[in-house]
Structure 1
Amino acid sequence: MIEYPPVSDSSSSATRQRIQYQRRWMSVGLFLIDQVLIFSGFALAYLLRYQVSWPPPFDRIVAEVATENLVPFSAFLPIVIMLQVLLGLRFIGRGFYRPSRRITMMDEAAAITGSVITMIALLMVVVFLYRPFFYSRLIFAFAVVTIIALLLSWRLLLIGIRHWFWTRGLGRERVLVVGGTGLGQLVMQSLTASPGVGYTLVGYLSNEPIITGNRARVFQHLGNLDDFEDVVEQHRIQHVIIALPFWEYDRLPELAARCQALGIEYQIAPDIYQLSFDRVDIMHLSGVPLLQPKEIQLHGLNLALKRIFDLTMVLLSLPLTLPLAIIIAGLIWLDSGRPIIFRQQRVGKHGHLFTCYKFRTMVPDAEQRRQELLAHNEADGPLFKMRADPRVTRVGRWLRRTSLDELPQLFNVLRGDMSLIGPRPALPEEVERYEPWHRRRLEVLPGLACLPQALGRSEISFDEQVRLDIYYAENWSLSLDLRILMMVIPAVLSGRGAW
């Protein structure tokens, strides 16, 4: 039997009571509002049936028989109360009142609609078996519409209010990430990049703190895994995301038990990160979930469509790009002489080497001087970059900031070595330092522009860039290419993240 470290009674009791108190009153509040809306919806249905004067031809439909069949609202009170009880139990069973519950509005609308229709249909059967000629059938049809409309309107309003508060840093759940490897960093980067989801990253626990460069995002290291209870209590943690690497999975049962003892909700991020799956399809085998890597979309007809798109866009842009290229070539020649074009071996699709063309932005002997600058590298992973690289010329600095140095790569696109959109072509020495999962980005043609370039360029870590490249390959569409082009243009014009 596995023995877990004991949880501090004082800290766990205080934390559990605080969290349970908050959740209890939030759940009660949501439940009571729904009950008021159900009652109000039925009252509105009563008004529509008996009090509203409908224009023709609806007046005859609503009138049914005669005005003497008017039934006072008090006669419907037992039905309303039964409906409130049934829907309340139904919503509790569906988990509607869990404060941290996050599902899409479409899923919630489907659940509410199905529940209201089912319960009102059940009531109609019971009522008309008991008193077949006393109650109006039309009022139940009105009640379906009015109750659903009120409940959905309230939830839309609630989502809007929550999002408004969350984007301003108010009312978010305080989150602790357990794990500081690539998976943990990805989770933390996603949390900080998405303020509208309602989470505030407090920090992370890891036995080995993240070592970052000067430009990397810095997350607060709160301690080791053994400090879990103290950190949760001290920082008032409300939610835990366990993002351990696969070689530490033996700690999962212990951490799950600690979360349960403290009464804290937790989620587990599976370490498919090291298996190079950016997204997966989930299958079920007799209740056992099976993860299948999502296929690369760029093959067959999709590949042909992308090639047609590339050629069309390049040819249409020639009247603009050719004069611009001539002007840039003249500026380079006046600034630092020849050569104008820089040729370099890059790694293309499936690891094939090709000659990549760029406007020269550095001094002619830049490659020979690279070794002496390796100690000043400011990029992570296998990349080499410097903000103030002394090898860059005056014109070259402007070309790099605007990405115009890559204009000759349109020739690579015409040759079929590259595409307009795709992962940036890597150097052979960089590919040699790739981790196995990084190589998935080599399954598609490299591109002149890419999704990381649109979202932050050099400010994005290498692992983030690779995951974005894999996402692009697995979710390719012509519309996605167009969206990236539209995103790249303002990113290039602003010079954000270019160095």
Structure 2
Amino acid sequence: MATQLQRPRPQPQVEDVRSAKPYLFSRSPLKTVARRIASIAALAAIDLGGLVIGVYGALALRSLVRDPKPILWNLLWQHETDWLPFLVLLLLLVFSRNGLYGPRELREGAGRIVPSVVLVAALSLAFAIGTGQHFTTFGLYVVAAILVALLISVFRWSYETMTGTLMRSYGIRRRALLVGEPEQVARLRESLGASRGGIDYEFAGAVAPGPELHEELALQRLDELIVADSGLDERELLEIVEAAHRRAVKVRVAPRTTELLVERGEYVPGQGVPLFELRPPILAGTDWALKRTFDVVVSAAVVVLGSPLWLLIAVAIKLGSRGPVFYADPRIGLGEHQFRMLKFRTMVAGAAREQERLEPANEASGALFKIRDDPRVTSVGRVLRRFSIDEVPNVINVLRGEMSLVGPRPLPVRDHRLLAPWHRRRSNVLPGMTGLWQIAGRSNLPFDDLVRLDFYYLENWSLWLDITILVKTVPAVLARRGAY
């Protein structure tokens, strides 16, 4: 009897990304290079446009203030044109050094643009002083820096929005395969969301480590593997990386909690075995001084500039329901010590006594209590909560040294009692008014993932990260993404 031979399914072209083959001879090089060059050129043109318009605007304002006569626009550049090439080069170098021309998912927005422009202004001023330039006013540098930072931020935001819309309309997206046990993959899928860095994801399925993974790699054209690393031993993980890299597929691994906790490992040379000294994830020394100074300056400005609005809110709360204007909410802060966090009152008087009755209606997971339509919230309170205005008095706690502008969100006493031991390391720093919870899905994420975000923040803190989180909090609040 003749045996019918089965035709093998076609296999995608295999390419090993570790190959020493020059990039220009690898797959689709011209398309990739052209796309990156076009992106960098567009961003550079946007930045230079913001620089020129911002500096020109600062010169025009100076001319109006000093001599309120019709501006001779063509004469504004007579001296400054000599400086413009230097400013252009300096801006491009600083922006490049700060990663603002990196891939779409890696470059940051206003949180990195503002300090970069400030650095350019400071360097240009220092150079001018060092070369003996004559100054009539130093205010030009301040005004120019503000205008340039504002314009570049707006221009870049418009560019990212427009290109993101075009990519979605043309169906450009990343194909990713999730790898892990079903429970881990489900949690990872919920945490990832539908996009990252403005690029939509198409999830091609989920598989467990093993033969099925190798089959999916062979049959599908993928861009990434996203691996839930919990429970994998080193051999399994290396096999996954080996199989993916042989097909030019990137591998991204969701870190385990233990990896987040030892991020600050310090290498200590040993005689036979390398050792790592684990340091607690705290902010100390110059980091603490810089963060504290930033907190005090910004909080004081919020109190002074916002006092008229605070008065109007106080009147609305008083007219809306009986009770005090402020509510001192017991929270757990630095070192697991209790403090009273100030908020505008949004609930009826005595609302805390009713929480036990409402526990069965709790919609949050883990050590959180949250009800979307809480019956204790007043009509004025709903408006304040809609835009998180009720949290603004937290700046008083910041000035007292009980909180920071950015940090792990302080938990109520009830929630803190439900924490697992590994969760409590988040109390090693001052709690914050906002944090990664607020900009990365907020309380819609499982509680363990929220704590992992806290650990990531502790290990990767910088002033620019704080500024970025503050800037991104505004659209997160307006989008009403699960405020807590």
TM-score bracket, shorter-length normalisation: 0.5 to 0.7
Query: Counterpart amino acid of 2:14?
Result: Q
Identity in percent: 36
- For 1:356 and 1:483, locate their aligned partners in 2 and report how far apart those are by CA, in whole Å: 24
Q: 1:396 to 1:243 in 2, by over 3 A?
A: same
State the shift of 1:191 in Å. Answer: 7.4
Q: 1:338 to 1:193 in 2, by over 3 A?
A: same
Q: Tell me what 1:393 maps to.
A: 378
Q: 2:12 aligns with which of 4, 8, 18?
A: 18
Q: 1:203 aligns with which of 202, 205, 212?
A: 205
Q: Tell me what 1:481 maps to.
A: 466
Matches within 5 A, 1:25-174: 31=25, 169-170=171-172, 172-174=174-176
Residue 372 of structure 2 corresponds to residue 378 of structure 1: no
Secondary structure of the structure 1 residue equivalent to 2:352: coil
Secondary structure of the structure 2 residue equivalent to 1:389: coil
Segments of 5+ residues of structure 2 without an aligned counterpart are 1-5, 31-101, 104-162
Check conservation: 2:173, 2:202, Cα contact below 8 A: no
Query: Counterpart amino acid of 1:416?
Result: G
Query: Counterpart amino acid of 1:277?
Result: L
Matches within 5 A, 1:270-309: 272-274=256-258, 276-277=260-261, 279=263, 296=281, 298-309=283-294
Check conservation: 2:12, 2:219, Cα contact below 8 A: no
- For 1:366 and 1:374, locate their aligned partners in 2 and report how far apart those are by CA, in whole Å: 13
- For 1:289 and 1:165, locate their aligned partners in 2 and report how far apart those are by CA, in whole Å: 47
- For 1:422 and 1:333, locate their aligned partners in 2 and report how far apart those are by CA, in whole Å: 31
Q: 1:448 aligns with which of 433, 441, 445?
A: 433
Query: Counterpart amino acid of 2:257?
Result: Y
State the shift of 1:394 in Å. Answer: 0.5
Residue 179 of structure 2 corresponds to residue 185 of structure 1: no
- For 1:411 and 1:253, locate their aligned partners in 2 and report how far apart those are by CA, in whole Å: 48
Q: 1:244 to 1:467 in 2, by over 3 A?
A: closer
State the shift of 1:354 in Å. Answer: 1.1
Q: 1:361 aligns with which of 342, 346, 359?
A: 346
Deviates more, 1:478-487 or 1:190-199: 190-199
- For 2:190 and 2:169, locate their aligned partners in 1 and report how far apart those are by CA, in whole Å: 17
State the shift of 1:196 in Å. Answer: 6.3
- For 2:188 and 2:273, locate their aligned partners in 1 and report how far apart those are by CA, in whole Å: 27
C-alpha RMSD of the superposition? 4.8
Q: 1:451 to 1:433 in 2, by over 3 A?
A: same
Matches within 5 A, 1:457-472: 457-472=442-457
State the shift of 1:396 in Å. Answer: 0.7
- Structure 2 length normalisation: TM-score? 0.57
State the shift of 1:338 in Å. Answer: 0.8
Q: 2:301 aligns with which of 273, 292, 316?
A: 316
- For 2:361 and 2:29, locate their aligned partners in 1 and report how far apart those are by CA, in whole Å: 64
Cα deviation per residue 1:97-125 (whole Å; 9 max; x = unaligned)?
A: xxxxxxx88xxxxxxxxxxxxxxxxxxxx
- For 1:268 and 1:456, locate their aligned partners in 2 and report how far apart those are by CA, in whole Å: 20
State the shift of 1:256 in Å. Answer: 4.6
State the shift of 1:289 in Å. Answer: 8.7
Q: Tell me what 2:62 maps to.
A: none
Check conservation: 1:166, 1:195, Cα contact below 8 A: no
- For 1:487 and 1:229, locate their aligned partners in 2 and report how far apart those are by CA, in whole Å: 39
- Structure 1 length normalisation: TM-score? 0.56
Check conservation: 2:16, 2:248, Cα contact below 8 A: no
Q: Tell me what 2:149 maps to.
A: none
- For 1:292 and 1:192, locate their aligned partners in 2 and report how far apart those are by CA, in whole Å: 38
State the shift of 1:251 in Å. Answer: 8.7
Q: Tell me what 1:405 maps to.
A: 390
Secondary structure of the structure 1 residue equivalent to 2:206: strand
State the shift of 1:400 in Å. Answer: 0.9
Cα deviation per residue 1:320-363 (whole Å; 9 max; x = unaligned)?
A: 33332222222112111113322222110111111222222112
Q: 1:22 to 1:421 in 2, by over 3 A?
A: closer
Q: 1:168 to 1:433 in 2, by over 3 A?
A: farther
Q: 1:407 to 1:31 in 2, by over 3 A?
A: closer
Q: Tell me what 1:97 maps to.
A: none
Q: 1:312 to 1:326 in 2, by over 3 A?
A: same
Number of aligned pairs?
A: 347
Q: 1:447 to 1:184 in 2, by over 3 A?
A: same
Q: 1:342 to 1:264 in 2, by over 3 A?
A: same
Residue 188 of structure 2 corresponds to residue 194 of structure 1: no
- For 2:415 and 2:226, locate their aligned partners in 1 and report how far apart those are by CA, in whole Å: 32
- For 2:238 and 2:464, locate their aligned partners in 1 and report how far apart those are by CA, in whole Å: 46
Q: Tell me what 1:424 maps to.
A: 409
Matches within 5 A, 1:246-285: 246=231, 249=233, 252=236, 256=240, 267=251, 269=253, 272-274=256-258, 276-277=260-261, 279=263
Check conservation: 1:343, 1:357, Cα contact below 8 A: yes
Check conservation: 2:12, 2:218, Cα contact below 8 A: no
Check conservation: 2:437, 2:453, Cα contact below 8 A: yes
Q: Tell me what 1:143 maps to.
A: none
State the shift of 1:433 in Å. Answer: 2.2
- For 2:434 and 2:226, locate their aligned partners in 1 and report how far apart those are by CA, in whole Å: 34
Q: Tell me what 1:210 maps to.
A: none
- For 1:241 and 1:308, locate their aligned partners in 2 and report how far apart those are by CA, in whole Å: 39
State the shift of 1:319 in Å. Answer: 2.8
Segments of 5+ residues of structure 1 without an aligned counterpart are 1-9, 37-103, 106-160, 207-223
State the shift of 1:455 in Å. Answer: 4.2
Secondary structure of the structure 1 residue equivalent to 2:425: helix
Q: 1:245 aligns with which of 207, 220, 230?
A: 230
Query: Counterpart amino acid of 1:202?
Result: A
State the shift of 1:282 in Å. Answer: 8.5
Q: 1:294 to 1:200 in 2, by over 3 A?
A: farther
Q: 2:399 aligns with which of 396, 414, 420?
A: 414
Check conservation: 1:403, 1:492, Cα contact below 8 A: yes
